[in-house]
Structure 1
Amino acid sequence: MAFSAAVSLEQGIPQLEAVLKQYFGHDGFRPGQREIVEQVLQGQDQLILMPTGGGKSLTYQLPALLLPGLTIVVSPLIALMQDQVERLQDNGIAATYVNSSLTPGQRTQREQAALQGRIKLLYVAPERLLSESFLPLLDQIQARVGLSLLAIDEAHCVSEWGHDFRPEYRQLARVRERYPGLPALALTATATERVRQDILSQLRLEDPHVHIASFNRPNLYYEVRAKHKDSYAELVHLLRQQPDAAVIIYCQSRKSVEFLSERLNRDGISALPYHAGLSGEQRAEHQSRFIRDDVPVLVATVAFGMGIGKPDVRAVIHYELPRNLEGYYQESGRAGRDSQTAQCILFFSPGDRAKVEYLITQKPDEQEQRIARQQLNQVMAYAESTTCRRRIQLSYFGETLQIGNCKNCDNCLRPLPLEDRTIHAQKFLSCVARCRERFGMRHIIDVLRGANTQQIRRHGHEKLSTYGIGQDQTVEEWQRLGRALLHQNLLEEATDGYSILKLNEGSWQVLRQQLQVQVAIPISAATPRLEESGPVQALDVDSEGLFQHLRALRKRLADDLGVPPYGVFPDTSLRAMAQQRPDSQTQFAQIPGVGTRKLEAYSAVFTQAIRAYCEAYDLPLGLMPELGRALGSGPIIGSTNTVASSPSLTQKLTLELYQQGLSLEEIAQQRQLKARTIADHLASLIEAGEISDLERLVSPDRHEVILATFKKLGSEALTPVRECLGEQYTYDEIRFVRALHHRSS
């Protein structure tokens, strides 16, 4: 069978928004997503860079539904596959994975389903994809149902310059050779220019469309705190501020992870450790308990996180120094994937450098050591810098922050005091010049401090005028100054693994005394910054109470279903419910994240919970955004073009009894359900057009009075109408009238 990945514009493009809402519950695309999806449907190779939480997965999951045949998704971790497949299946999408966690029988069953065309997305690891047994299976799938797309997730693993290099990824070009017409989509959240070029070359992408989204995550607050004897108390204070919030704490070693998690538990904070020294069963259990909100805090090495899609992590805390900026960006980016405010805090001590340098010396390859040391220097510069944290991170990926102050990092919100270091900067830059811009920072500092090294003697640098003129400063102080010059763009560094320092125009302005150099007083010596971290986007008191009520309901449902709570709904959906308080199926359909599957599964239980809570605390219902005009002059407020879904099985049973002439109370008694549940069924059936005559539920004269009150108030909220009409009218009567006019509008 020939490849048929491309979909004509007439067939594919007009469906996009409808498919997006039906399967993913989103009303619109995020920036860049639609263009990428359109390119996929036209069979174009692509390289996609989007930050964590930016919506990469949707760019291949959605077109996979429209394309003929099977989409193969290359994914590096079992946890990552399982998480994504669970979410897809929960949205009614035919997806599965094949990996080592399956029994031979389970694997055969899934492979047969793919061969029979019953699967749209198949997740595999690169090792399995390239195995002698799996490639012939792909040949059969291609012959029977066709292959439509090769999606390569975590594509930075292709490059040895990436922070998670995996040699197997470099062999994926074999798949491109085997299926030369198969379009490929390479996706990653982090990649420098060098890594991007490596991906394009290694995967042999043909005339690719390259999409580079902004690496800026404006919802994340970045802060570096001095690490000292009271830092543990600060950490505990941070955790107790949000006792139920999901938090990841990263440490460098297994020993640190175990020690910190045990100490937190002794102090009443529920925490679990995660590191490579635990058994596979222990790691899986700890990860599962964290994802399912059984435990709020996970203390981990960098072994944790790559396969985690948990959207509601409210803080990522690095209690020890990360190894490189790229890894730090990805690890801290596991916070706030739901676009809500989150904190990224690094506890920094210059002494942590020695621990990382020890790990670097364990690398067998000299080139790898050079790269790692250069990356460590960049992390140290980030931690000690007084410039905007966000600006430094974006600059690392070749992006420029367009505003002067990000207003969401410690350096922008609470700048450290500065001191004039112009004289020392001139000495440093002069030494770089006299060494002919051929050496790295360590050698320059050795010359300044008058060291007697073999390299200095070999090059005759003990004869330079700058030799020994910097003995008044420690090595650490010179390193801090050198990194400050780099971040202020007053000095440059080669990017090929050899940390060679180069002068630029800014350097010469300092040397000519045309520019002063201001450097922050070291964070360990400055006044501790103990203010609350970053702006907090809080709900009002009433909405916050309902939000917590809905979180508890979500947890019960998730535990019953055996899925993570965010598999039911993410926090963003619950927050919208708490603020808008939907009171009907039509209103519930407008909540972000509610697609057709979730509308059928959850609208009744959540609207019932919202209604009960609002009645108990005397809160107004139906505070939906005004998407239309007042009732009587056009579409009812809050209505959309959403077509009500077909009645569920339980609603159909209620409908059958209603059509037999039973009253609401009689139906409730016969079905052994609450009258409120039956009323909810009837309202949904009215909206769906299954019940068109309200006379048995609401008398015509009362119907007219209720309708007139809706028009008078210009709102569809139930509570104001009930307050206007008085207690002689029931909430159910008002709901039924509104439901009928939802349908007719």
Structure 2
Amino acid sequence: MQIKKSLIDNLQTFFGFDNFKGDQEAIITSILEKKDTFVIMPTGGGKSICYQLPALMSEGTAIVISPLIALMKNQVDQLRAFGGYDSIAHFLNSSLTKTEITKVKEDVTAGQTKLLYVAPESLTKQENIDFLKSITVSFVAVDEAHCISEWGHDFRPEYRKIRQVINNIRENIPVIALTATATPKVQHDIQKNLQMTKANIFKSSFNRPNLYYEVKPKSDVLKEIIRYVKSNLGKSGIVYCLSRKKVEEVANALEINGVKSLPYHAGLDPKVRADTQDKFLMEDVDVIVATIAFGMGIDKPDVRYVIHHDIPKSMEGYYQETGRAGRDGGEGHCLAFYSDKDVEKLAKFMKDKPVSEREIGTQILKEVIDYSESAVCRRKQILHYFGENFNEAGCNNMCDNCRAQKQSFNAEEHLSKVLNMVQEFGEKFDDHYVINVLMGQETAQIQSYKHHQSSYFASGKAEGLFLWKSVLRQAVLNNFLAKDVDNFGLLRLTKNGQSYLTSPYALRFVMNRPMDIPEKDDDSAVQHGSGALDTQLLQMLKDLRKKIAKQKNLPPFVIFQDPSLEEMCTHYPINMDELKHISGVGNGKASKFGTPFIELINKYVEDNDIDRPIDFVVKTTANKSALKVSIIQNIDRQISLEDIAASKGITYEEILKEVESIVSSGTKLNLNYFIDEVIDEDRQDEVFDYFKTAEVDSIDKALEDLGSDDYNREEIQLMRIKFMSELGN
């Protein structure tokens, strides 16, 4: 009782909490009793306090092995804030100068430092081992312990040397290993490698009831992400991408669409990454677009959504990354986009790896594919992967599959067939092999085992691939079959499966859905704001354009061209910023002609109670592409269009199209230096005056009216560009 009171008092003193969460108290007691301790606790469960509090209460310094500099800095800053003085916690890694390292070692030696965070790479340096031998080490905490296992999603070879280093420092140092993601296989690897098979094990449920899981087929993904983020403005979110290039692209697209966002990846300068992280924590930035390098150990409780632009490489990675949402127990939306092309890319990444590593990687990836394509409760699948059985009724419709209308089928006959196959084939094959036999795929492996001659071969062809994928997936999820992860995912019959073969009973499974075919919403009927052309508004805008054209003595097409008006009638821009997003409307045209148009549209929207599309218009950087920027700069330097075209490796016709596109988007260009060289002044005036009174801006009509013998197409095009630039922009 006295120990418990002491723990609560210290918890209150150091961290300001009155009560422990879950197993925290038992874990801390285990460490204080100098026992090896293994903690498996989901993100947001309060793992850090499990080693921070006993470190503060113990004699000597606790060594915390952590894989990321950002994680160390974040936790050291927090501990210093709680402890009231800087020397209470330090980190020792490659980011420090020699002077800073000396200061750290002085504080540790003086007994002022209770927690010393060390990167695994720094831990193995002989000079650091010698230093740690000279101090009193209370215990060693191995954070992100899944990095030890090659079956984990973030395997790091340096982690496998940790036990050897601990033994070098001193015998019988207690160890606490902590992870938020560990399958039974990974748990076994961690305990074996750290030589803590007799450790006290504390395993919390992996269920995060406040997180909503959703997987969508990947179609127009950038627009989908921008639409989602803009409908959640002001909320913190993370968007994960597989490549640095995609990170930059998505962050840029969000930024130009009015979202405070920044990119984060390993290719950026460390200082930039640290600044980005601080801005996210301080809420100067709402969205971080990142590779998986971001977020590990970042203690931001109010991340409201995590989006995966690309399907993740593993279920562990997916669980950990989605786990950064809703750590305060509030709303957390986890949205992932899936496509076969992403899977193909990930498979290609593995082709050059050693065979054993490739086999492991393929199996890990296969779990992600099964999760994405299955129509079964997402939560049930995640928890099953981590060794937990879960009744989907407990999901409370907190995933897309539980909310969706599902197609189910009577699975008794199909399940019995699959279980019999696995039993008769001798439990030597994975689900992919079983499905190939049922579908009649005569592979070399099937031929070598002569299963193309068995009664099962092609017996399931009529039912189709999706049904058999559904049967195999749910046979595993419902524990009729188990995957032997030590042996490349080979299927074996469980006691439950054997019992079913003896006494089968009626049961229903749900059908997988093809994720690469975008689903249509039930309410996708044409309506205002849904992308249908509003013909009534179009006529009103044309009338307004005609009126303004008469007032300014300009042809209507100079104000706004028809395609721009049509786009206004599907997206309903109601302010100047939104109008600038419409194609063919840049800053110049918007400020020169835009006000009466947005006033008309605004009134029309209110009068007709129109529900504008949330995804209004996705701005792109197309009109700011490197080519266009270069063209504008070269024109400012008065370089001839032929020379610009030659330097860019494009034709003269193509350069004219690019220039026309720049001008039609509202940018004013002065081409007089070039036009004066190729068209004499009188002919320029004739074409200019023609366009002033023309009803349409057609080059063919101009050639017909002005005479194709006197002018060629390029000359008319040049003069139309000059005309639109001077009068329209």
Indicate whether the TM-score tops 0.5.
yes
Paired amino acid for 1:154: E
With over 3 angstroms needed to count, the CA separation of the structure-2 counterparts of 1:49 and 1:516, relative to structure 1, is closer
In the alignment, is residue 327 of structure 1 matched against residue 327 of structure 2? Answer: no
Write the letter of the residue equivalent to 2:38: L
Task: Look up the SS of the partner of 2:134 in the other structure.
Answer: helix
Distance, in Å, in 2 between the alignment partners of 1:424 and 1:202 is: 42
RMSD: 2.7
Give the corresponding residue for 1:401. Answer: 390
Equivalent AA in structure 1 for residue 74 of structure 2:
D
> What is the match of residue 360 of structure 2?
371
**Letter matched to residue 135 of structure 1:** I
2:126 corresponds to 1:137:
no
1:516 shift after superposition: 4.1
Q: Give 3-state SS (helix, strand or coil) of 1:101's partner.
A: coil
Alignment of 1:461 with 2:455, yes or no, is no
Per-residue CA deviation, residues 177-214 of structure 1 (Å, 9 max, x unaligned), is: 23113221111111122222222222122742111112
Counting only pairs closer than 5 Å after superposition, residues 43-62 of structure 1 correspond to structure 2 as: 43-62=34-53
Confirm or deny: 8 A CA contact 1:374 1:497 kept in the other structure. no
Alignment of 1:492-531 (within 5 A): 492-504=482-494, 505-506=496-497, 509=500, 514-520=505-511, 522=513, 524=515
How much does 1:88 deviate? 0.5
SS at structure 2 position matched to 1:172: helix
The structural deviation recorded for 1:424 is 5.6
Correspondence 1:575-594 to 2 at 5 A = none
Change in Cα spacing, 1:288 to 1:369, as seen in structure 2 (3 Å) is same
Residue of structure 1 in register with 2:149 after alignment: 159
Note if 1:384 corresponds to 2:378: no
What are the Cα deviations for residues 99-152 of structure 1, in whole angstroms up to 9, with x where unaligned? 1111100110111111111111111112212211011111222xxxx2212111
Task: Kindly indicate whether residue 408 of structure 2 is the aligned counterpart of residue 419 of structure 1.
Answer: yes
* Offset at residue 413 of structure 1 (A): 4.7
Q: Secondary structure at the match of 1:496?
A: helix
- CA contact under 8 A between 2:469 and 2:512: conserved in structure 1? no
The corresponding residue for 1:90 is 81
C-alpha distance in 2, partners of 1:65/1:512?
58
Q: 2:157 aligned with 1:175, yes or no?
A: no
Q: 1:120 aligns with which of 97, 100, 114?
A: 114
Q: How does 1:608-627 map to 2 (within 5 A)?
A: none
Amino acid at match of 1:383: S
Any stretches of 5+ residues in structure 1 without a counterpart? Answer: 1-8, 532-745
> Who is 1:68 aligned against?
59
CA-to-aligned-CA distance 1:34-80 (integer Å, 9 cap, x gap): 11112222212111111111111111111222211111111111111
- The total of aligned residue pairs comes to 516
> Take 2:329 and 2:271, find their aligned partners in 1: how far apart are those partners?
32
Query: 1:523 Cα deviation (Å)?
Result: 5.7
Q: Secondary structure at the match of 2:239?
A: strand
C-alpha displacement of 1:415 = 3.3
Contact (CA 8 Å) 1:367, 1:497: kept in 2 or not?
A: no
1:534-580 deviations in whole A, cap 9, x for unaligned?
A: xxxxxxxxxxxxxxxxxxxxxxxxxxxxxxxxxxxxxxxxxxxxxxx
> Match for residue 657 of structure 1?
none
How many Å separate the matches in 2 of 1:297 and 1:507?
50
The equivalent position to 1:348 in structure 2, one of 327, 338, 342, is 338
2:92, 2:291 → 1: CA distance? Answer: 27
Structure 1 residue aligned with 2:180: 189
Give, in angstroms, the shift of residue 477 of structure 1. 6.0
In 2: Cα distance, 1:42 partner to 1:239 partner: 48
- Measure the CA separation in 2 of the matches of 1:448 and 1:134: 59
Instruction: Check 1:128–1:421 CA distance in 2 against 1; reply closer, same or farther (3 A cut).
Output: same
> Per-residue deviation at 1:258?
2.6
The SS at the match of 2:233 is: coil
Larger Rg: 2
2:139 corresponds to which of 149, 173, 198: 149
Alignment partners' CA distance in 1, 2:512 and 2:434:
22
| Preserved contact between residue 73 and residue 152 of structure 1 (Cα < 8 Å) | yes
Q: Secondary structure at the match of 1:38?
A: helix
Q: Is 1:38 aligned with 2:32?
A: no
| Match for residue 236 of structure 1 among 212, 218, 226 | 226
Asked whether the 8 Å contact 1:323–1:376 carries over to 2, the reply is yes
Match of 1:597 in 2: none
What's the offset of the Cα at 1:30? 0.8
Asked if the contact 1:222/1:408 (under 8 Å) is kept, the reply is no
For residues 152 and 448 of structure 2, what CA distance do their matches in structure 1 show? 35
CA distance in 2: counterparts of 1:365 and 1:336, whole angstroms: 38
Residue 368 of structure 1: CA displacement?
Answer: 1.5
Q: Which amino acid aligns with 2:344?
A: A
What amino acid sits opposite 1:380 in the alignment?
I
CA contact (8 A) 1:80 1:308 kept: yes
Give the match for residue 220 of structure 1. 211
Q: What fraction of aligned residue pairs are identical, expressed as a percent?
A: 40
The answer as to whether partners of 2:185 and 2:485 remain within 8 angstroms in 1 is no
Using the TM superposition, name which of 472-481 and 372-381 deviates more.
472-481
- Residue 94 of structure 2 is aligned to residue 100 of structure 1: yes
How much does 1:82 deviate? 0.3
In structure 2, what is the Cα distance between the partners aligned to 1:330 and 1:65? 28
How far off is 1:266 after superposition?
3.0
Letter in 2 for 1:399: E
Offset, 1:426? 5.8
* In structure 2, C-alpha distance between the alignment counterparts of 1:119 and 1:392, rounded to whole Å: 43
| Partner Cα separation in structure 2 for residue 399 and residue 59 of structure 1 | 23
Q: Secondary structure at the match of 1:243?
A: coil
Q: CA separation of 1:520/1:507 partners in 2, compared to 1, >3 Å: closer, same or farther? A: farther
Distance 1:515 1:112 in 2: 71
Deviations 1:350-407 (A, max 9, x none): 4432222222223x22112112222222112222233322222122122223673321
Describe the SS at the equivalent of 1:225.
strand
Label 1:528 to 1:487 Cα distance change in 2 as closer, same or farther (>3 A). Answer: farther
Q: Name the residue aligned to 2:277.
A: 287
**SS state of the match for residue 382, structure 2?**
helix
Residues 13 and 490 of structure 1: CA distance in aligned 2, closer, same or farther (over 3 Å)? closer
Which amino acid in 2 is paired with 1:112?
E
Letter of the 1:82 counterpart: K
Distance 1:408 1:81, change over 3 A: farther
Offset of residue 348 of structure 1: 2.5
Letter in 1 for 2:311: L
Which residue identity does 1:469 align to in structure 2?
A: S
Q: CA deviation at 1:243?
A: 0.8
User: Which residues of structure 2 form unaligned runs of 5+?
Assistant: 524-729
Distance 1:462 1:41, change over 3 A: closer
Match of 2:107, SS?
A: helix
User: 1:420 Cα deviation (Å)?
Assistant: 2.0
Q: Give CA deviations for 1:685-736 in whole Å, capped at 9, x if unaligned.
A: xxxxxxxxxxxxxxxxxxxxxxxxxxxxxxxxxxxxxxxxxxxxxxxxxxxx
**Are 1:491 and 2:481 counterparts?**
yes
Structure 2 Cα separation of the partners of residues 512 and 152 of structure 1: 47
Per-residue deviation, residues 419-465 of structure 1 (Å, max 9, x unmatched)? 32646656655554553432223323332333332222222222112
Deviates more, 1:166-175 or 1:28-37: 166-175
Distance 1:22 1:62 in 2: 10
Return the alpha-carbon distance in structure 2 between the equivalents of residues 352 and 429 of structure 1: 32
Query: Could you say which residue in structure 2 is the equivalent of 1:261?
Result: 251
